[in-house]
């Protein structure tokens, strides 16, 4: 499920939604993905392909699917309880906007 979701991301990207390149590393259950965004495109790569991503996100496949497909927006309690972990929660909001989800 997660592999299919990430495979579809480049086609869902809204060009021009960011002006500076941004990188994301996701550890979602057993899936590890790197997502690179620039003003024109989104590129998904398997695994951790950067030494340091701008934003790192770790959560379960179920929770990520709930966010991405069901429109759930994590709150402070979700981060505090460990359901989702990130070094930059605000960058996750930017990510949603880049794909028309916010």
40-65 pLDDT, tens digit each: 999 999 999 989 999 999 999 999 99
Alpha carbons 42 and 38: distance in angstroms, whole number: 7
- The predicted pLDDT at position 102 comes to 75
- Give the start-to-end residue ranges of the domains of the chain: 2-98
Reply yes or no on whether the pLDDT at 23 is more than 90.
Answer: yes
Residue 92 · residue 57 · CB < 8 Å: yes
- The predicted pLDDT at position 40 comes to 96
Is domain 2-98 given the CATH code 3.30.1050.10 in the classification? yes
Quick one: which H or E segment has residue 90? Answer: helix 89-98
Give the C-alpha distances (Å, rounded to integers) separating 9 from 36, 76, 81.
11, 26, 28
Higher pLDDT, 50 or 27: 27
**Mean pLDDT, rounded, of the chain:** 95
């Amino acid at each position: 499920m997660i592999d299919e979701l990430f495979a579809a991301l480049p086609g869902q990207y809204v060009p021009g939604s960011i002006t500076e390149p941004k990188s994301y590393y996701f550890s979602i259950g057993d899936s590890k993905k790197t997502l690179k965004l620039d003003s024109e495109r989104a590129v998904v790569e398997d695994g951790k392909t950067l030494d340091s991503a701008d934003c790192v996100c770790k959560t379960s496949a179920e929770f990520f699917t709930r966010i991405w497909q069901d429109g759930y927006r994590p709150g402070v309690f979700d981060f505090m309880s460990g359901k989702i972990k990130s070094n930059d929660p605000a960058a996750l909001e930017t990510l949603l906007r880049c794909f028309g989800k916010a």
